[in-house]
Amino acid sequence: MQTERLLDNLSTAIIAFDAYGRFAYLNQAAEKAFSTSSKVLVGKRYSYFIASDSLPITKIVEALRQNGQFILDSVQLKLLNDKELTVDLSGHWYQAEQPYLIVEWQDPSNLPHRAQSHDLSKQSQVSERLLQKLAHEIKNPLSGIRGAAQLLANEPRATKDNSITEFTDIIEQETSRLTQLVDRMLLSTHKATRVDMNIHEITERVVELSAINLPTNIELKRDYDPSLPNFFCAPDSVYQAILNITQNAIEACSSQKEAVITLRTRALPRHTINDKQHSLTVCVQVEDNGPGIPPELQPNIFFPLISGRNSSGLGLGIAQSLIQQQQGLIEFSSTPDKTVFSVYLPVIKPDGSTGVTDE
């Protein structure tokens, strides 16, 4: 396998400079970080794209002279395309047909991000087990109560006493409602069929349903990337997850004077989910300008029965479980005036492969 292909499968950005400080190679992670391509930069001196005053050149040269390598943390890189990056840099000389300076960096923000992904994954596993046990415990007595209500309704006196019929109707209605709730809790145990589809088929269904009884103070917006490709997923599972998140946003914004909820779609090349890097990931974001999630609830927001509103608290736990079945993940960020839930779905091929590499 060619060296370039190996380097392109790394999430770490790698750049090779020749002895004159000219770009000789950038892997795909570096191209993504720079928002440009190798074709633009190769052969150009570093100062063509990186502001010299943002690099501690003296420290780098001195460290290379003494040790043949350098390590610098939290460097504020300024690029000449008006982009700024905070990175941990390291570099060393590599001798090939000529000497090259190999520079790599990590985005420090990825470290807490990765820890959050691990926490969410563990949270979801605990949540799913709890939901399944709770559902099984509830479903059996519900069936017994419903059966008893039906028998009671069929008793001869029930036809003469309207109050008994009324009460048995209430019992049946409530047990049916609770049974449906339990079925939702057990939904994650069912293997859903994957089909070839476009994510906008799902988001449009969510928008159409949400718009039916949308409060007049809330505006529902779309911000779609029309270039997103079709991919294989379980549409009903993904739809239920995005709908749960959107309904939560609507509830959160229902009491404020003016609110905007935006459904956004984007393509993310070489995105990492649970330590696995996927060649292409579809990201669906539900953003609202509501009051935000209380800080004390944020660490456990995907656990069942955790909610800041008068609801069951099951929606986010179920949504996370459904998305993880698609090898994806739901993450969020929340401040007092902005909450964003991001649903990450790897683009799965017909044979079930995703172009995954373990990190």
Burial zone of 343 (CB within 10 Å; 0-12 exposed, 13-18 middle, 19+ buried): buried
Mean pLDDT of the chain: 79
Residue (of 126, 319, 344, 153) closest to 239 by Cα position: 319
pLDDT at 266 over 90: yes
Amino acid at the residue 70: F
> What pLDDT is stored for residue 284 in this prediction?
97
Distance CA 164, CA 87 (A): 72
| Total residue length of the chain | 359
Look up residue 72 and give its two tokens: 């610098």
Written in H, E and C, the secondary structure of the chain is CCHHHHHHCCCCEEEEEECCCEEEEECHHHHHHHCCCHHHHCCCEHHHCECHHHCCHHHHHHHHHHHCEEEEEEEEEEECCCCEEEEEEEEEEEECCCEEEEEEEECCCHHHHHHHHHHHHHHHHHHHHHHHHHHHHHHHHHHHHHHHHHHHHHCHHHHCCHHHHHHHHHHHHHHHHHHHHHHHHCHHHCCCCCEEECHHHHHHHHHHHHHHCCCCCEEEEEECCCCCCCEEECHHHHHHHHHHHHHHHHHHHCCCCCEEEEEEEEEEEEEEECCEEEEEEEEEEEEECCCCCCCCCHHHCCCCCCCCCCCCCCHHHHHHHHHHHCCCEEEEEEECCEEEEEEEEECCCCCCCCCCEEC
Mean pLDDT of 339-343: 95
Examine the pLDDT at 310 and tell me if it is beyond 80.
no
Assess whether pLDDT exceeds 70 at residue 29.
Answer: yes
Break the chain into its structural domains and give their ranges: 3-108, 112-188, 191-358
Q: Whole-model pTM? A: 0.56
Least confident range of 47-61, 252-266, 311-325:
311-325
The per-residue pLDDT for 76 is 85
Least confident of 173-177, 183-187, 207-211: 183-187
Least confident range from 8-17, 187-196, 308-317, 328-337: namely 308-317
Average pLDDT over residues 42-52: 88
CATH superfamily of 191-358: Histidine kinase-like ATPase, C-terminal domain (3.30.565.10)
Question: 296: exposed, middle or buried (C-beta count within 10 Å: 0-12, 13-18, 19+)?
Answer: exposed
pLDDT of res. 121? 57
Residues 6+ apart with CB under 8 A from 76: 54, 84, 85, 86
- pLDDT bucket at 178, cuts 50 / 70 / 90: low
Per-residue pLDDT, 42 = 92
Give the amino acid at 323.
Answer: I
So what's the pLDDT on residue 134? 61
146 vs 184, which has greater pLDDT? Answer: 146
> Residue 227: pLDDT above 50?
yes
> Does 293 or 74 have the greater pLDDT score?
293
Of 168 and 108, the structure prediction assigns the larger pLDDT to 168
Residue type, 25: Y
pLDDT band at 275 (very low <50, low <70, confident <90, very high): low
In sequence order, the β-bridge partners of residue 221 are 262
What's the pLDDT band for 84 if we cut at 50, 70, 90? Answer: confident
Among 123-127, 156-160, 259-263, the least confident range = 156-160
CB-based contact 172:150 (threshold 8 Å):
yes
112-188 architecture in CATH? Answer: Orthogonal Bundle (1.10)
Q: 3-108 belongs to which CATH class?
A: alpha beta
Q: Cβ atoms within 10 A of the Cβ of 82, count?
A: 6
Identify the CA nearest to 130 among candidates 141, 119, 122, 140: 122
